[in-house]
């Protein structure tokens, strides 16, 4: 299951828009009902406008009425890619206990709980 998710992240990476960093990132987010949403990093000439692949997938899921995140797989041109701090906090909002999956290939995946990557995340 995590393998399939990772393969999807790997596949959508091709859609990444990264003319500035040239680092293409893909993410695949699995929700509790089994639906999967994908996302890529989309950069902008105003660099701060860039959105990461993970947040792109999360925004797509929420936009479809799905906030019950179970797992997210991330894949970059350089293989293993753990979410940045902003993405950790963004995902933490919805599912602190979700699984985060990455790795250098579908054969060697690493899985961690978001709460371990983002202990004591911000809540209101
Ligand atoms: N990036 C992601 O897509 N996810 C992360 O967790 C960190 C960084 C993207 C943003 C930017 O387009 C490129 O990687 C280089 O930082």
Q: How confident is the model at residue 13 (pLDDT cuts 50, 70, 90)?
A: very high
pLDDT at 76: 97
What residues act catalytically? 54
Going from the Cα of 83 to the center of ligand 1, the distance in angstroms, rounded, reads 8
> In whole angstroms, what is the distance from residue 21 CA to residue 53 CA?
14
- How do residues 86-120 score in pLDDT, each as one tens digit? 999 999 999 999 999 999 998 999 999 999 999 99
Pocket, ligand 1, Cβ cutoff 6 A = 18, 21, 23, 25, 41, 43, 50, 52-54, 83-84, 87
Looking at the predicted structure, is the pLDDT value of residue 41 above 90?
Answer: yes
Sign of dihedral through CA atoms 103, 104, 105, 108?
negative
pTM of the model: 0.98
Return the CATH architecture of domain 2-117. Answer: 3-Layer(aba) Sandwich (3.40)
- How do residues 60-72 score in pLDDT, each as one tens digit? 999 999 999 999 9
């Amino acid at each position: 299951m995590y393998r399939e998710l990772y393969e999807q992240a790997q596949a959508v990476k091709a859609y990444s828009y990264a003319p500035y960093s040239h680092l293409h990132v893909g993410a695949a987010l699995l929700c509790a009902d089994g639906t999967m949403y994908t996302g890529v990093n989309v950069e902008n000439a105003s660099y701060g406008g860039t959105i990461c692949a993970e947040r792109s997938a999360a925004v797509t899921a929420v936009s479809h009425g799905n906030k019950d995140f179970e797992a997210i797989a991330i894949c970059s041109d350089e293989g293993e890619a753990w979410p940045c701090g902003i993405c950790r906090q963004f995902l933490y909002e919805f599912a602190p206990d979700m699984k985060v999956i990455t790795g250098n290939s579908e054969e060697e995946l690493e899985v961690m709980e978001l709460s371990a990557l983002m202990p004591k995340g911000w809540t209101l």
